Amino acid sequence: MKKKYFLLLAVAFMLLFSSNKVNAQEINSEFNKIINDLIENYNQQNYQAIRKDFSDHLGTVFNETTTTQMFSGLYTDLGKIVNRKSSEIKSPYEIDVLVVFEINAEELVISFTFSDKNEILGLSLYSPEATKINYPEITKSTTIEEIAAPYVEKNKNSSLIIGIYDNGEEKFLKFGKNKNSDAFNINSIYEIGSVTKTFTATILAIMVENGEMNYDDPISNYLPDSIPKLIKPNGKEITLEDLATHTSGLPRLPENLEKTIKNPLNPYANYSLENLYDYLQTVKVGTSNYEYSNLGMGLLGEILATHSKMTYKELVKKYITEELGMNNTEIKLSEVQQKNFLKGYNIEGQLTPHWDFKTLEGAGAIRSTAKDMMSYLKANLGINANNLKDILAKIHKRRNQETALGWHLMQFNANEIVWHNGATYGFSSFIALDETNQKGIFILSNSGNIVDEMGIALLELIDLQN
């Protein structure tokens, strides 16, 4: 029986935006050297030399014994790595490398997460077939069922729900092994991951509209005096808008996150506000341009909460969910809601824990239902938005080449689409709005296998059928 390899979990949100495959020489030279050294040491069965590039925490989790067991077992099963076939940059610190082994020409992806100190923070190894889904070519006669089928076939434990708003009508479609179960319905609760960021940006917009803060406020106005002013390469201090548009230059994740992890499958559960403030005292600010940052949006959520003397959960309720009647959109679930909270499965189909957040909630902590997400989708199209209508319209306006306020933008045929995706280890989500034509979609899945490509296929189908 063919083994499944899923060795080390990278400590990172599994949020995958469009990325381009690149040649190895285009990768950061230090990272490229580490990758080549790992392959060389593996082939020479010098497994302890691999550990020299591990961060302190990763080296503690994978000691000499476990490292040898892991890589020697791989060598026994598959032999040497004979070809570094391709590399793909997922973010400045995340690189996927497709390699070929000598036995049966087995292909596996080695996924690296690096620190700005040129250390390996996380390393995973998996079959490219684990995430590859062959969606159909979209024509006017394609059905939604045909689009969903390949995903459900790949993710057999998934309970997938699609919401569509088009021509003034709502539509919900259920797929997966539980599609005929009454227990799986529009009130079933999912983790929505980084779609949370759109809520955080909305709260910022409301507080700016209320005169409580300004987009161009330096973040130092809202942080302890012990944290120095954070200056971008262009000489300007990081502002609230920079955090909300991923132009702060802050890393994707705080480097000291890994030291707080007790369960790698629930990586944010122990990261505290004190840990965050400690990290900000020495953080290295990078580019002045767009660079996706969970840290930045998580920090924005903390600033909003601290300034308001409220919790992030209370802010979401006060400004968004109460206004829109989203009664089952929460961070901390009640006992009743817990009964509707679906189990999550990783990309290998294995049960994985729900994620908990002690801080950085504004980056990905919200749980929601299909019913509530339909309300959120419609409100962002200006339908039943109540007092949020004008503010939601404003935050969709382009702020830079990549983003609006908290949302991403893409050109789709003749229309601009406002969108975001999200993923935790056991859930994935996607939401997209076509404001011009007053239509939109969302997808919720209790599988960590991302649903972005399905979302694009659905947008294309709706466009063709109108």
Q: What is the pLDDT of residue 88?
A: 86
- pLDDT, tens digit (0-9, with 9 covering 90-100), for 14-60: 333 232 333 334 678 899 999 999 999 999 999 999 999 998 878 87
- pLDDT, averaged across the chain: 90
Burial class (CB in 10 A: 0-12, 13-18, 19+), 312: buried
Closest to 292 in 3D by CA, of 250, 230, 256: 250
Q: Which class does domain 21-130 fall in?
A: alpha beta
Rounded distance, CA 258 to CA 250, Å? 17
The answer on pLDDT for 4 being more than 70 is no
Question: How confident is the model over 335-364, as a mean pLDDT?
Answer: 95
CA distance 185 to 413: 33
Kindly indicate the confidence band of residue 210, based on its pLDDT and cuts at 50, 70 and 90: very high
Using CA atoms, how far apart are residues 299 and 319, in angstroms rounded to an integer? 19
The Cα 160–Cα 368 span in angstroms is 14
Mean pLDDT of 215-234: 96
Is the domain covering 163-464 a CATH 3.30.460.10 domain? no
The DSSP symbol for 305 reads: H
Of 295, 269, 417, 287, the closest CA to residue 357 belongs to: 269
What proportion of the chain, given as a percentage, has pLDDT over 70? 94
What is the structure's pLDDT at 10?
39
CA-CA distance, 347 to 149, in Å (whole number)? Answer: 16
Select from 243, 214, 199, 240 the least CA-distant residue to 368.
199
Domain limits, the chain? 21-130, 163-464
Cα 178 to Cα 175: distance, rounded to the nearest angstrom: 7
| Model confidence band, residue 114 (pLDDT cutoffs 50, 70, 90) | confident
3-class state of residue 360 by DSSP: coil
Q: Which amino acid is at 41?
A: N
Answer for the pair 222, 307: CB distance below 8 angstroms, yes or no: yes
Nearest in space to 219 (alpha carbons), one of 243, 195, 249: 243
Residue with structure tokens 């790698």? 264
Q: Tell me if 382 sits within 8 A of 393, measured CB to CB.
A: yes
Q: pLDDT value at position 20?
A: 34
Q: Would you state the pLDDT for residue 252? A: 87
Using the predicted structure, report yes or no on whether residue 12 has a pLDDT greater than 80.
no
